Amino acid sequence: MSGPGVAVHLDSWLREFGPRGRETVEATSVSQLLDVLEGRYPRLRFKLRDETGRLRRYVRVFVDGEDVSGTTGLATPLGGGQTIDILHSIAGG
């Protein structure tokens, strides 16, 4: 992919393991985006995806404000200029 890439922002819990602010990543899908982030920040590995490579159920990925976690998920295509927010939801009872 060439061009401006996508702007990625992690919530406060995930920032402990990855970029502290917005970071630009070149990726054509959410899956590739996570590959790039895990390559740059090895401590993110297994925080976003489980051992089988599936998105963890408590992780939500928003592409331009739309939650894609329960729909197209990792296969969601990305284009330059989009904003990706990755949130770690709090489990509780």
Q: CATH says 6-88 is which class? A: alpha beta
Average pLDDT over residues 39-68: 95
Whole-model pTM? Answer: 0.90
**Alpha-carbon distance 73 to 3, whole Å?**
23
Residue-wise pLDDT tens digits, 7-35: 999 999 999 999 999 999 999 999 999 99
Domain extent listing, the chain: 6-88
pLDDT the model gives residue 91: 64
Using CB atoms within 10 A of its CB, is residue 41 exposed (0-12), middle (13-18) or buried (19+)? middle
